[in-house]
Structure 1
Amino acid sequence: MAADAKCRTIHTPLCSLLGCDVPILLAGMGGVARWELSAAVANAGGFPSLGMVRESPELITSEVTALRAATDRPFAVNLIPAATDPALLDAQITRCLELGVTAFSFFWDVMPNVVGRIKNEGALVLHQVGTADQARKAEAAGADVIIAQGIEAGGHVHGRMGSFALAEAILARTRLPVVVSGGISTGRGLASALALGAQGVQCGTAFLATNESFAHTDHKQRVVDADGDDTVLTDVFVLNWPKGAAVRVIANSVTSALDGRLLGHDPDQLPRDVIAWDDDQGRYRFSTDSPLRTTTGDLEAMPNYAGQGAGLIADVVPAGVRIEQIMRQASFCLNGKPEFSERGQL
């Protein structure tokens, strides 16, 4: 369901660069942003990142193939070079290029050699950053778009500034298109980002709670039931990532047992207790793996990622409906007619 014609008048230069209709990006959520969600966002006019963090080249092939069968709209493949074994990363990029992928989205520390490789192949690079310094490094490496991720964001959070403060700091230093990410679930957030001078927003939590997302139904419902105050920033869910990699999750039995010591955990000192399964793959209590459609076991003790915008998400809807809601509300705000809505719904 594409956004209606009036809503599509919110068109920034970023839309022309990426080939989308509306300035709303789907975050490349690992495990969650699979082909079905990516296709739904693309067909609704947005720009998706297919979440392929540390996935095999074979899965990348099947996901890209399925995505292209479901839409002819452009998309990016999301990888995290700094948190991926170099040999696997090389194989991932090689396979993407063989498949003709024309845009990549990266996150965490900037790796200039990786960005340079993509640019040498003529592809676009969107780089998500958590600090103004990382934004400078991404631009110097050749990135085409900077995604400013604030501490309000769900999932892995790289910086400690708020999303709008970070975006404004980056906008003061770059001519590249800047996208705001973190805690944005409604059209008011999009309108605020555009008023700041950004060219769009990236949403994760708002799309996790959609019909097409690959998140487990329990995770989706926890997002709907949660308020922004129910989320915490912690690095206890750190297995599979570098030490100190913090994530924003909905508080659960694991975080409550920390007695306030949410940060400062060493992955080498955490036990490897299997608490859930995806087919024959065990999931550890303190791993970064979130519950997916295929997951069974102790889902409550797994990281249920959500940003501080969770309190504005009232229900699970198709991704196209979510985009339509955001765009309609943003249009009202930008036209000076902000409407009251219950938990972000018009």
Structure 2
Amino acid sequence: MMADPGTLRTALCDLLGCEYPVILAGMGGVARAELAAAVANAGGFPTLGMVREAPSLIISEIEAYRRLSDRPFAVNIIPAATDPDLLHLQIETCLAMKVAVFSFFWDVVPEAVTRVKTAGAFLLHQVGTLRAARDAEAAGADVLIAQGQDAGGHVHGRTPTFDLLRAVLDTTALPVVASGSIGTGKALATALSLGAQGVQCGTAFLATAESFAHDYHKQRIVGARGEDTVLTDGFVLNWPKGAAVRVLRNSVTEAFGPALMGHDPQRISHEVIAHDGPIPRLRQSTDSPLRTTTGALEQMPLYCGTGASAINAVIPAAQRLNDICAEAQAQLASARQTPMVGQT
């Protein structure tokens, strides 16, 4: 069944210039030009994941994206977890490349928000708490992405996705997007019914043909269920202390036992377990396995949300987007046709 853009269109689509209210999460290392363009050309809104990447890679990925698609896109960077000098260069590079939309995450850095807004850019800011939502709005964000604890990858808060969505909707007049364990049409329909303007998907697009994740990572997601994930700050090298991630269980998390939280990056040995070309990858770092990675892939963080049970195959991103949207339309149509209690 093919999705009809008109029946799912929200104000967010008009703001971002897309057909469906579905955003590709800016997954570092994974959401590169090929995946972003596939999502964009299928009608979703893409984000290039450029977390702590060098300006040269940002330039090459933007150029590659523009060869594949002429549709709008965002670039995701993390001001609070990036060296200030590199952050300055990243923003300068994006602005020089005429990036019109930015996506920020983690603690709100008002100076970074002001900088991109002053340049005339549109800003999506992902938050995990009500406090962060208020801070992002006060700083000048245009859209809030409410990320629940169900999400894969870095998780900023500890509130379930739809509970956080309701709370953020109650406290802001900005458009709000739901993120975290949203990889089905049912979840999209639920988010829209609650008042969200759209959703952001990560894990669902990580397990697609075009994502830059390693095939090992994709297949582990296909074989996983929600209960196979854990939230831990054990993969913390390269990020601030206490930064939690949701990953699939592996030999590293099993070795933690019940001590999934409380890991101090200053006390973690720098043991090389893999490489991306000449670049070493450390055990307990935040680096997930990419197409270019060789080494002990099983020991690396395999980011995955609790919605993994719905992902049963690695398929093209366009197909996954269409499947999600078509199912959402069916769910919403069914809800409209179901009479309320007391109706005849």
TM-score bucket (shorter structure): over 0.9
Kindly provide the CA deviation profile for residues 167-201 of structure 1, in whole angstroms up to 9, marking residues without a partner as x: 10010011111000001110000000000000100
1:82 counterpart (80, 83, 101): 80
TM-score by length of 2: 0.96
CA drift of 1:7 comes to: 4.4
Amino acid at match of 1:28: G
1:153 corresponds to: 151
Amino acid at match of 2:60: S
Secondary structure of the structure 2 residue equivalent to 1:282 = strand
Q: Provide the identity percentage.
A: 63
Secondary structure of the structure 2 residue equivalent to 1:248 = strand
**What is the alpha-carbon distance in structure 1 between the residues aligned to residue 249 and residue 273 of structure 2?**
17
1:64 corresponds to: 62
Residues 5, 19 of structure 2: 8 Å contact kept: no
1:343 corresponds to: none
Residues 7, 331 of structure 1: 8 Å contact kept: no
2:220 corresponds to: 222
Matched, 1:237 2:274: no
Secondary structure of the structure 1 residue equivalent to 2:313 = coil
Amino acid at match of 1:332: A
Secondary structure of the structure 2 residue equivalent to 1:104 = strand
**What is the alpha-carbon distance in structure 2 between the residues aligned to residue 30 and residue 253 of structure 1?**
23
Secondary structure of the structure 2 residue equivalent to 1:59 = helix
Residues 182, 307 of structure 1: 8 Å contact kept: yes
1:169 counterpart (148, 167, 170): 167
1:323 counterpart (321, 324, 332): 321
**What is the alpha-carbon distance in structure 1 between the residues aligned to residue 306 and residue 77 of structure 2?**
24
- Give the 5 Å matches for 1:66-145: 66-145=64-143
1:341 corresponds to: none
CA drift of 1:337 comes to: 6.7
Residues 146, 176 of structure 1: 8 Å contact kept: yes
Secondary structure of the structure 2 residue equivalent to 1:128 = strand
Matched, 1:195 2:193: yes
Residues 3, 326 of structure 2: 8 Å contact kept: no
Q: How many residues align?
A: 336
Secondary structure of the structure 1 residue equivalent to 2:212 = coil
Matched, 1:17 2:15: yes
Amino acid at match of 2:244: A
Secondary structure of the structure 2 residue equivalent to 1:172 = helix
1:290 counterpart (288, 291, 312): 288
**What is the alpha-carbon distance in structure 2 between the residues aligned to residue 137 and residue 32 of structure 1?**
28
CA drift of 1:5 comes to: 5.9
**What is the alpha-carbon distance in structure 2 between the residues aligned to residue 184 and residue 314 of structure 1?**
15
Secondary structure of the structure 2 residue equivalent to 1:165 = helix
Secondary structure of the structure 2 residue equivalent to 1:190 = helix
Residues 3, 322 of structure 2: 8 Å contact kept: no
**What is the alpha-carbon distance in structure 1 between the residues aligned to residue 304 and residue 6 of structure 2?**
28
Residues 7, 328 of structure 1: 8 Å contact kept: no
Note the residue ranges of structure 1 that are not aligned, 5 or more in a row.
Answer: 339-346
Amino acid at match of 1:230: D
Residues 42, 321 of structure 2: 8 Å contact kept: yes
**What is the alpha-carbon distance in structure 2 between the residues aligned to residue 312 and residue 259 of structure 1?**
27
Secondary structure of the structure 1 residue equivalent to 2:230 = strand
Matched, 1:251 2:260: no
CA drift of 1:260 comes to: 1.2
**What is the alpha-carbon distance in structure 2 between the residues aligned to residue 161 and residue 244 of structure 1?**
16
Kindly provide the CA deviation profile for residues 216-245 of structure 1, in whole angstroms up to 9, marking residues without a partner as x: 000000000000000000000000000000
TM-score by length of 1: 0.96
Note the residue ranges of structure 2 that are not aligned, 5 or more in a row.
Answer: 337-344
Matched, 1:6 2:4: yes
CA drift of 1:6 comes to: 2.4
